[in-house]
Amino acid sequence: NAGVTQTPKFQVLKTGQSMTLQCAQDMNHEYMSWYRQDPGMGLRLIHYSVGAGITDQGEVPNGYNVSRSTTEDFPLRLLSAAPSQTSVYFCASNQPGTYEQYFGPGTRLTVT
């Protein structure tokens, strides 16, 4: 099993550009989540999904969209990148009831 994979590993965007961060898992987990991690702030939940076709907002959803058309994939879209979105983005998955989240290796995004 590859676990949770994320692409790209690194990305530089200009303000106003859009892009999609990809996340996939092969563990057949129902739950998937997106976090951002900034220095001194810890991991903050952006969006999460409890199953295909179901998504919900987390603590910091503004500027991001998600969709969940399959169990395996949970892409995160930045519609119009801003410098405040410079961060490390982690995708995670888990089975309902276990709460142990498996994280992907992260995407380091810089917006100039």
Comparison of 2 and 100: residue with beta carbon closer to other proteins: 100
Stretch that binds other proteins, among 14-22, 32-40, 69-77, 79-87 (CB under 8 A): 32-40
Quick check: 44 binds other proteins (CB under 8 A)? Answer: yes
Q: Give the three-state DSSP class for 3.
A: coil
Location of structure tokens 């810890």? 42
Applying CB under 8 A, which of residues 90, 93, 109, 111 lies at the interface with other proteins?
A: 90
Q: How many residues interact with other proteins (rule CB under 8 A)? A: 19
Q: Name the minimum Å distance from CB 13 to other proteins.
A: 20
Instruction: Classify residue 83 as left (phi > 0), alpha (psi -120 to 50) or beta.
Output: alpha
Contacts of other proteins in 60-89 (CB under 8 A): none
- Give, rounded to a whole angstrom, the gap between the first and last alpha carbons of the chain: 36
Structure tokens at 57: 């907002």
